[in-house]
Amino acid sequence: MTGGLVAGIGIRPGTAAADILACLDEALAIAGLAGAPTPRFATLASRAGEAGMVAAAADRAAELVAVPDTALTDFAAACATHAPRIVARYGVGSVAEAAALAVAGPGGALVQPRIATGRVTCALARTAS
């Protein structure tokens, strides 16, 4: 499969960059992609300005893409994970998965379902081209 990776990231307010990067690195390792570049980070618009998120994206030289909460529901059916609390709040099973798919664009595919580590969730999607 060709295309670039998108890291979908969900965080709680105040999450440190080191925690975000640790979760991302774990997701990459689980997917068999350890060390692969993730040129785009996708997260909720309400979390895109968080200091830890901004620092994590800068650390990896990644574009930080803010996804409006309302855009997530378009990807609800494609989510592999279904956390009841997240479904109730955002209408999707996984913010990380839906955000990654939203930014991956048409034909994008989930390559690593959401993993959770402490205050962070991460999923990986690949763009179609």
Query: For position 50, what pLDDT does the model report?
Result: 97
Predicted TM-score (pTM) of the model is 0.92
The continuous run of DSSP H or E covering 101 comes out as helix 95-104
The domain total for the chain is 1
Rounded-to-integer distance, Cα 114 and Cα 101, Å: 12
Q: Running DSSP on this structure, what letter comes out for residue 78?
A: G
Q: What pLDDT does residue 16 have?
A: 97
CATH code assigned at 104: 3.30.420.180
The residue written with tokens 């996804």 in the block is 67
- Between CA 10 and CA 97 the distance in angstroms is 9
- The tens digit of pLDDT for each residue in 57-106 reads 999 999 999 999 888 888 888 888 888 888 888 888 889 999 999 999 99
Res 78: pLDDT: 84
Residue 37: give the domain boundaries: 5-126
Residue 90 is predicted with a pLDDT of 83
**Site of tokens 């692969």:** 36
34 — pLDDT class (breaks 50, 70, 90): very high
Distance in angstroms (rounded) separating the CA atoms of residues 15 and 119: 7
